[in-house]
């Protein structure tokens, strides 16, 4: 892989020796299950063939130096790490992982690190989680720290929550770690059970990046999460069974009690409750080979993001509407936190080029600037190389 060779060589040039450990973590595409992870619900996602690679060497003292090739920029800090920093913001993903990993074992000395990726920043493909996981895998290997994959996912989530302020769930980390070739990752975010669901070999996903950049910290992500928590607390107060999260509320119960919520909070709850039902139905459809019906649920999910969760944007809505006109496209929706980033289209590999050209041409006519299209396929999860 060219990315691996690039960071190996850059690391050796900068630090005067080859890396002791190299780790790779893929990005992810969310297929169904929008904002369900922190509501203890369900999701279908895939690790994709774009990712972040990180090279690591031990240092002789407590200093840690991290070289980010893509920016390009370098940051330095000393152990131990207890807080985030104001600048550069990206180093907080590394600092957070260092802090959380110390609960599992001792990071004996400082380190030198070099990383780069081919995930477009801000495209909704979880470049941040890929960086966190690559750092955690490499450090755990270098310092012989025992940590399971689920523990690693949770510590990376905690690092992002506490060191960047984004109250993300576990979707990104689990998808990157548990990906498999030609399969989607089904996650139950209450039990943390993870299964893979095979995807037909002729299917692929076309990502259409709006080039509208988002930041989960600066966006309304945290506001949406707070609204979900308020609605969950309401249902816990009126239903005669335990409600720990919106996952515990049925569609019938939503219908019966929604009028007692303020309209905005009711819409947020409706999105999550109905999205969980869509994921479960879609998983059954995919296992039975009914990809057309599966794709229709993707369209329904996007409509809910528009009207109920309001985490779409005009550019994403336009792409999904254009996809709906094209018979080659089996399904389409926004992917990830929303408020910008990418739409994901499901189609047969042989149709991708024509669909990409059609949508890109329509997009530039509508908005006066280009979008970026790329075909991605589900791949194996993160690993030490």
pLDDT tens, 231-260?
999 999 999 999 999 999 999 999 999 999
pLDDT tens, 330-358?
999 999 878 888 999 999 999 999 999 99
Cβ count within 10 A of residue 12: 15
Per-residue pLDDT, 217: 46
* Pair type for strands 331-335 and 342-348: antiparallel
Cβ count within 10 A of residue 255: 11
**Which residue in 172, 181, 248, 317 is the catalytic one?**
172
Find the helix or strand (DSSP H, E) in which 229 lies.
Answer: helix 221-238
Q: CA separation (Å) from 313 to 209, 257, 359?
A: 12, 29, 17
Per-residue pLDDT, 274: 98
Nearest Cα to Cα of residue 310 among 338, 335, 336, 332: 338
Per-residue pLDDT, 168: 80
DSSP 135-146: HHHHHHHHTT--
pTM for this model (two decimals): 0.91
pLDDT tens, 111-122?
999 999 998 776
Is 188 a known active-site residue?
A: no
Find the helix or strand (DSSP H, E) in which 31 lies.
Answer: strand 21-32
Q: How far apart are CA 153 and CA 160, in angstroms?
A: 11
For 156, the token pair is: 């990376």
Q: Domains of the chain (ranges plus CATH)?
A: 2-198 (3.30.230.10)
Find the helix or strand (DSSP H, E) in which 201 lies.
Answer: none
Per-residue pLDDT, 26: 96
pLDDT tens by residue, the chain, 385 residues: 789 999 999 999 999 999 999 999 999 999 999 999 999 999 999 999 999 999 999 998 999 999 999 999 999 999 999 999 999 999 999 999 999 999 999 998 999 999 999 987 766 678 899 999 999 999 999 999 999 999 999 999 999 999 998 878 799 999 999 999 999 999 999 999 999 999 999 999 999 999 876 555 456 788 999 999 999 999 999 999 999 999 999 999 999 999 999 999 999 999 999 999 999 999 999 999 999 999 999 999 999 999 999 999 999 999 999 999 999 999 999 998 788 889 999 999 999 999 999 999 999 999 999 999 999 999 999 999 9
């Amino acid at each position: 892989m060219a990315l691996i060779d690039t960071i190996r060589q850059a690391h050796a040039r900068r630090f005067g020796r080859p890396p002791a450990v190299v780790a790779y973590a893929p990005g992810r595409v969310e297929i169904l299950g929008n904002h369900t992870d922190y509501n203890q619900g369900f999701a279908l996602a895939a690790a994709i063939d774009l990712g972040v690679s990180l090279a690591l060497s031990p240092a002789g003292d407590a200093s840690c130096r991290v070289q980010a090739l893509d920016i390009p920029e370098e940051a330095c800090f000393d152990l131990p790490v207890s807080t985030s920093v104001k600048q550069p913001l990206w180093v907080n993903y590394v600092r957070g992982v260092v802090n959380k990993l110390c609960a599992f074992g001792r990071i004996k000395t400082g380190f030198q690190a070099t990383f780069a990726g081919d995930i477009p920043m801000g495209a909704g493909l979880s470049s941040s989680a890929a960086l966190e996981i690559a750092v955690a895998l490499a450090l755990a290997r270098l310092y012989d720290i025992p940590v399971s994959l689920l523990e690693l996912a949770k510590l990376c989530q905690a690092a992002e929550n506490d060191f960047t302020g984004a109250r993300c769930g576990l979707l990104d980390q689990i998808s990157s770690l548990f990906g498999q070739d030609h399969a989607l990752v089904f996650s139950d975010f209450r039990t943390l059970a993870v299964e893979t669901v095979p995807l037909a070999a002729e299917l692929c996903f076309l990502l259409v990046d709006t080039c509208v950049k988002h930041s989960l910290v600066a966006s309304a992500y945290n506001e949406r999460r707070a609204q979900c928590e308020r609605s969950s607390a309401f249902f816990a107060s009126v239903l005669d069974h335990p409600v720990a999260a919106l996952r515990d509320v049925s569609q019938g119960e939503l219908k019966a009690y929604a009028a007692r919520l303020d309209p905005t909070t009711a819409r947020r709850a409706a999105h999550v409750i109905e999205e969980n039902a869509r994921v479960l139905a879609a998983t059954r459809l995919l296992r039975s080979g009914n990809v057309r019906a599966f794709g229709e649920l993707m369209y329904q999910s996007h409509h809910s993001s528009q009207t109920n969760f309001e985490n779409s944007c005009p550019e994403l809505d336009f792409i999904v509407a254009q996809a709906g006109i094209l018979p080659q496209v089996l399904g389409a929706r926004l992917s990830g936190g929303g408020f910008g980033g990418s739409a994901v289209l499901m189609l047969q590999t042989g149709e991708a080029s024509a669909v990409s050209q059609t949508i890109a041409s329509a997009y530039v006519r509508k908005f006066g600037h280009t979008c970026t299209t790329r075909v991605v396929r589900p791949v194996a999860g993160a690993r030490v190389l």
